[in-house]
Structure 1
Amino acid sequence: MRLQLALNVRDIDAAVDYYSKLFGVKPHKHYDSYANFAIQEPPLKLVLFRNPEAKERLHHVGVEVMDDSSVRTTLRRLTEAGVVDEVQRDETCCHATQDKIWSREPDGLRWEWYRITDDAPVEGLESLGKTCCTGTSGEENIGCS
């Protein structure tokens, strides 16, 4: 398990350059509007969305789990607690296929619990009309292409 921090950035290439230097690793994925780093130490999945118009730097926070049983256990626990906003299964988003559980805390910050089921899906399957990278149907899908 590792924490995910998803940030809105103005310039994806400048951000990738900076975070590569800061953490001493190259990005796991780097596209025109999206990049991510799988950092071993500290255990962190850093996700960058090119979103120059964003008013907030923080896009969302997440927890990446490595197996399906962790997703099921988390879904059961969050459902019992009454804090599940949305469940997505086999969602191709952010250049990977994932199972996701979304929750929103009282002040509006979005939390995502997820497991990557296919880290290299066929590109072009993503649809900007889906709820990719947002967890809600009414928000703009920034950084998903």
Structure 2
Amino acid sequence: MTGTRIQLALNVDDIGEATAFYTRLFGVPPHKVRAGYANFVVTDPPLKLVLIENPGAPERLNHLGVEAPTAGDVTAALARFTAAGLDTTVAEQDVCCHAVQDKVFVAAPDVPHGWWEYYAVTDDDPSNPDGASTSVCAVSCAARDTADSTCCG
């Protein structure tokens, strides 16, 4: 990845059907596929599209984010957010969405789960990608989690 891109995470009813559709729509294969989860790294337009299988979810939009190229970019964004007086939560080496990430959650009105995440992937293939996690991501959206799914898959 060479630059910053917007992340759009969607709840989908059928991960296979959605993955096939977005492969055709954007003309690129998924970057990562796991049970109930897929993500795409789209160059044009610059987009990180995340699909989370969550049948019957009341909202199609799961969460919003900004994927930065490096953890240093996240640190710089945190400094900017703090200077602007924004309410933030930091999560370093957070295992979420089948990757290890450094991130900052920024409280925001009128968005799903009440926050944007600004993050950088530090390990796209962690040694235990499906293991239990104490992710801030999972904690932040625990109110919407069910026994079958969490907002971050």
TM-score greater than 0.5 by the shorter chain: yes
From 97, 113, 116, the counterpart of 1:94 = 97
Alignment counterpart, residue 37 of structure 2, candidates 34, 38, 55:
34
Residues 9 and 64 in structure 2, CA contact (< 8 A), matched pair in contact too: yes
8 Å contact from structure 1 (residues 88, 99) kept in 2: yes
Matched, 1:117 2:122: yes
Q: Are residue 79 (structure 1) and residue 93 (structure 2) matched?
A: no
Count of aligned residue pairs for this structure pair: 143
CA distance in 2, matches of 1:135, 1:40: 31
SS of the counterpart of 1:70?
helix
The RMSD of aligned alpha carbons is 1.9
* Deviation of the 1:136 alpha carbon: 1.1
Q: Does 1:54 align with 2:57?
A: yes
Q: How far did 1:135 drift?
A: 6.0
Identity %: 44
Opposite residue 64 of structure 1, the aligned amino acid is E
Comparing both structures, which one devotes a greater share of its residues to helix? Answer: 2
Q: Corresponding residue for 2:140?
A: 136
- Distance of 1:142 and 1:49 partners within structure 2: 8
- How many angstroms does 1:70 deviate by? 1.1
Cα distance in structure 1, aligned partners of 2:32 and 2:108: 29
Which runs of no fewer than 5 residues in structure 2 stay unpaired?
A: none
Q: What secondary structure does 1:14 align onto?
A: helix
TM-score, scaled relative to structure 1: 0.88
Q: Does 1:43 pair with 2:52? A: no
C-alpha distance in structure 1 between counterparts of 2:130 and 2:29, whole Å: 25
TM-score by length of structure 2 reads 0.84
Q: 1:124 to 1:134 in 2, by over 3 A?
A: closer
Contact (CA 8 Å) 1:92, 1:125: kept in 2 or not? no
